[in-house]
Amino acid sequence: MKTSVAALAWEIWRKNRYGLLLLLLFLVVCVGLSRTATHLAAEASRLWPTAVTTAEAGEVIEANARATEWRNVAAGWSGVLFGLSLLVTLAVFAFAESSPMRGFSGIPSRLFTLPVRTGQLVLVPMVSGVCFVALLCLAWSRLVLAPILPPDAPVSGGYFLLLLPATLVLFQILVWTLPGFPKTRATLLTLLLTAFAVLCALPFGDFTWWPERKPALMAIYGVLLVTGPFVAWLGVARVRNGERRHWPALAAVATRLANAFSRRRDFGSPAAAQFWIECRRNGRLAFGGLALVILCVLGLNAVLPSSNGSSSVQFDSVYVPVLVFLVFIWTPILGLTVCGDAGSRRLPLTTFQAVRPVAVGELVAAKLKAMTALLLCGWVMAALSAIYVWAVLSGQVQPWFDRIVQNSESGMIAIVLGAISMHVLVGLFPLWLSGRVPGLPWSFVGLLVVFAGIANIVAWFARHSEYWHLALLLIGFAAAVKLGVAFLAFRHALKQKLVNRGFVAGTVSIWLFGTAICIELMSRICAGNGLDATLLVPFAALLFPIARLALAPLAMAMNRHR
Amino acid sequence: MQLHISSKDGVPIYRQIVNQVKYLVGSGRLAPGEELPPIRLLAEQLVINPNTVARAYAELEHAGVVTKRHGSGTYVSDNGSPLNRAEKVKILAQRADALVAEAQHLEVEISELLELVRERHRAMQPKG
Amino acid sequence: MNMPTSSPGQPVIAINGLSRRFKSKLALDAVSLNVQSGQVFGLVGANGAGKTTLIKHVLGLLKAESGCVRVFGRDPVADPVAVLSRVGFLSEDRDLPSWMRVDELIRYTRAFHAGWDAAYAERLREQFQLDPGERIKHLSRGEMAKAGLLLALAHRPELLVLDEPSSGLDPLVRREMLEAIVRTVAGEGRTVFFSSHLLDEIERVSDRVAMMACGRIVLQGRLDEILEAHFRLTLRFPTPPAAPPKLPGALHTTGGGLEWTALCNGERGELKAAAASLGARIVDETPASLDEIFLARVGGQRLTSDNLLPAAR
């Protein structure tokens, strides 16, 4: 390594080599899927002209069906993995490091003491990041997406090629210029990611105004790309010179706000103190992000013109993104951050928390209570925002009620979403609590794998309905495993005096209550819609998690006593 | 009572206390019957282990320099202890050693030195 | 001076044959020690000797792989509540939640201890000059250490465990912390177990001392007995010996030419006889300080004569 530029570039590679290898893995997997899909499609179309007899025609139809199935699978997986790759790329090139005391930094301050110019510090990650993202985009669109999507899908072309680097540049600017304001920075980053998601979805939305707006948007991205490095250089230079608090007024307001939340009364018991610390540590980030996303989605929908005139469709387009964010993004992040140490952001317990003179069961109970409280508040916030939109579109309320009552599809969707939300919340609970896995973003890879597996199994069963008795067996087996694990875990925890009987009784009764509600709702829906109850009701009985909650105290004990 | 503990001497701390208390008693800075600080207070003042102070006091009591009165603390022993005289002579012996060595170095005879001492003693006597 | 614990005569900390391996590195190697009630026990060792690992075992943060650890007669892993509620702990990295204010931190910690003395905590806070409205992340290192010590002292624990209490602190704050330790022991006869690599601190306040190196205890005993048993002999040879003289019981020998100094541990009479048999005359015999003993026992080969002779004489 002869020059400082080369050294900086090498550092990016070395620090993140596993991440970059993972990206390569994703790409290879999706290329494989895509090739298989095109191969099968080519097979099917090859057979088509030569089919003469009915048997051959049947073969062709089967080949076509298989080809379409594969293409859907490939498209689904590619979309998800491409999204993950983008997130990993953002994390890699943001160049931030975390320390237990000071949280996430911007550019690590140890680099500021090296004899490099600020321009080099800024340009190396920025330029390499932009090139990398552009390459990634080209590779994915040419190799993976173009073969399997219909030819008029807007994946190739300059839009994404400009959007992705512009997002990366903005991301880097935010991370590097605001190290002194972690909460503001987190908020703005969430806003950025949400805006990015919306802007990615726009070309696929088939809007009438799209062709006029598109060049304007592309011009905006181009301007961002060009001016970004300059802005970043200015900001990083100020941070390097120590002018962190360059907005004293903002800092003063922030302090006053923070002091308004400070605790003035004594605590009644250790449990109350633990609950307070868990809520305090996780509450503001959880709420801040959620509130902001809801606000910005509402704002965006108010600004963008609707595709048709109908207001109920507009309500769906407002509310569905909020729901998606809530279930698939906010909930697991909430689960993960609550499992972290209440004093810092890491998963392994710090010494301060580990020497609290309370049993492990109390620590876990405080986390669960805080998580439930935050989750309920989050759902209430989402519901309130929905009511706000209803109020704005008043006159649409009655038809909506009728729709909900008669068409239980929404009810079923609500149940399934609620169940999925519950499952991503406690998704990797025992692993997170044990403190032995890395937190963000690697936990989400694990979650993704598990859920993809389950989704694939369910989809397979839905397509091959002749195997439903096998599905019943599988459900029974899963139930047995779940209850068995829960029973053994509780017994072990009780024997080791990690929890007391009250904890076990509380968890079991909550599970019974939740399962009863699930079964009741599901049977009503089946009765109302004439669906087959023999499979869906037992499936509903499995939806409420208990095994993972039973394993939680054991995992936490592993974290506390290493 | 001002004591100074140095931890780099190699001399055990309790011994430093014993030596310094003996010196103070011998040179008159601690009067007979005067109370020494309680063990706990001296330990906090010097930032050392109270057991060390207790051991020093025990040795001083064993040597007769101080006496412990039941419940009311530790006091310097009254006059008449032979140790006082020995301490005084020891102090003077140190001074004499320094004087003799200096005289040797400056090549002054021992008889001249003794004459000088007598002369200074006469000069210090109050007139009349 | 000694306050009785639950069963008098039972050691407050009893560690027996404790070993611990981290991947391939042996962090603790068959460590055994006892701490009696009312004692100040000093654990000495270089960085990486295993002091923090041992302290974590005492608190139940690490499970004993082999051997056993008992605090107040109980296993800190199996019964954390009973043990931790009677222990006040100051960790080496002083990890306090950086976002809390000082008064919130005091209120939070108070909720966990029934025996919390609020008046005493307030006195300590004033004495340590900690502003109650200040956030922990804005405190200096010394103030953070004092805040941590306040939390450890305020519930009047029977056992005070301190991991390198003076590390990174200026002499003023170091003195304050030592004063607090001495006051804890003097006034109420509580037990203190602390680790340090500052030997003059250990020498001032400890009753018993254990020296650790590479996970093993190389020397353990009462401080005054250790200091009496070690001394430095300076030998003068008529002609320069070819190789450094070997005295039985000498831990470390330095010097050059005609005069050689050995740090010895053993019978004085035997050593003098051995010196005479080598043909040397003993010109000086001085007591050894604790850091000289430590360096001789632990860091022998890498020393030069500069290190062994005390700098400030």
| Inside any domain, residue C288 | yes
At position A330, the amino acid (one-letter code) is W
Interatomic CA distance for residues A507 and A94, integer angstroms: 41
Are both A448 and A305 inside the same structural domain? no
Q: Are residues A331 and A442 in the same domain?
A: no
| Residue C305 C-alpha, separation from nearest chain A C-alpha, in angstroms | 37
Co-location of A382 and A488 in the same domain:
no
Asked if residue C79 and residue C194 are part of one domain, the reply reads yes
Task: State which residues form the domain around C260.
Answer: 229-298
What is the Cα–Cα distance from A345 to A281, expressed in whole angstroms? 9
Measured between CB atoms, does B19 come within 8 Å of chain C? no
- A362 with A416, same domain? yes
Task: Confirm whether C64 is domain-assigned.
Answer: yes
Q: Is residue C313 part of a domain?
A: no
In a domain, A217, yes or no: no
Cβ-Cβ contacts under 8 Å, A355 against chain C: 59, 61, 84, 87, 89
| Inter-chain residue contact C207 with B49, CB threshold 8 Å | yes
Contacts of A83 (CB under 8 A, 6+ apart): none
Domain assignment of residue C146, yes or no = yes
Domain boundaries, chain B: 13-76, 85-124
Same structural domain, C131 and C269: no
Residues C34 and C81 grouped into a single domain: yes
On whether both C200 and C255 belong to a single domain, the answer is: no
Residues of B in contact with C292 (CB under 8 A): 10
Q: Is residue C191 part of a domain?
A: yes
Chain C positions contacting chain B at CB under 8 Å are 1, 40, 175, 178-179, 182-183, 185-187, 200, 203-207, 224, 227-228, 232, 286-290, 292, 310-313
The pLDDT score that the predictor gives to residue B78 is 76
Flag whether C94 is in a domain: yes
- Residue pLDDT, tens place only, B92-124: 888 888 888 888 888 888 899 999 989 888 877
Architecture of the B13-76 domain:
Orthogonal Bundle (1.10)
Cα(B66)–Cα(B50) distance, rounded to whole angstroms? 18
Q: Show the low-confidence residues of chain A (pLDDT under 50).
A: 307-309
Q: pLDDT digit of tens for each residue in chain C (313 aa)? A: 333 344 567 899 999 999 998 888 889 999 999 999 888 999 998 888 889 999 999 999 999 999 999 999 999 988 888 899 999 999 888 888 888 889 989 999 998 898 899 999 999 999 999 999 888 888 998 899 999 999 999 999 999 999 999 888 888 888 888 888 888 877 677 899 999 888 888 888 899 999 998 888 988 999 888 888 888 888 888 888 777 777 777 788 888 777 888 888 877 778 778 877 877 887 777 888 888 888 888 865 333 333 333 333 3
CA torsion, points C288, C291, C292, C296, in degrees to nearest 10?
130
Give how many domains chain C has, as a whole number.
2
Residues A329 and A452 in one domain: no
The reply to whether C207 and C220 lie within a common domain is yes
Distance CA C169, CA C174 (A): 6
Q: Which of A373, A403, A425 is the last residue of a domain?
A: A425
Token representation of residue B127: 């007139």
Among C225, C254, C286, the domain-final residue is C225
Do A417 and A445 have their domain in common?
Answer: no
- Are residues A420 and A306 both part of a single domain? yes
- How many domains is chain A partitioned into structurally? 2
B28: left (phi over 0), alpha (psi -120 to 50) or beta: left
Q: Taking chain A, what is the end-to-end CA distance rounded to the nearest angstrom?
A: 40
Give contacts of A272 with chain C, Cβ < 8 Å: 111
Are 3 or more Cβ–Cβ pairs between A and C shorter than 8 Å?
Answer: yes
Does any domain span residue A355?
A: yes
C neighbour chains, 3+ CB pairs within 8 Å? A, B
Place of tokens 């002194």: A180
Which structural domain range is residue A495 located in?
Answer: 438-562
Which amino acid type is present at position C108?
Answer: Y
CA nearest to B39, candidates B20, B21, B59, B56: B56
Residues C198 and C291 both lie in one domain: no
Taking only Cα atoms into account, the Rg of chain B, rounded to an integer number of angstroms, comes to 19
- Nearest CB to A343: which of C85, C97, C110? C97
Q: Which of A355, A496, A499 to mutate to test the interface with C (most CBs of C within 10 A)?
A: A355
Judge: B10–C286 Cβ closer than 8 Å, yes or no: yes
Closest residue on chain C to A341 (Cα): C97
Is the C-alpha dihedral spanning A344, A346, A349, A351 positive or negative?
Answer: negative
Query: So what's the ipTM on this one?
Result: 0.76
Q: Are C308 and C254 in contact (CB under 8 A)?
A: yes
Domain identity same for C95 and C191? yes
What is the Cα–Cα distance from A348 to A341, expressed in whole angstroms?
Answer: 7
Decide if C289 and B8 are in contact by the 8 Å CB cutoff. yes
> What's the CA gap between C261 and C305, in Å, rounded?
9
> Which of C174, C208, C225 is the endpoint of a domain?
C225
pTM, 2 dp: 0.75
Q: Which chains touch B (3 or more CB pairs under 8 A)?
A: C
Position C59 in a domain? yes
In a domain, A85, yes or no: no
Contact C284, C272 (CB under 8 A): no
Do residues C156 and C271 share a domain? Answer: no
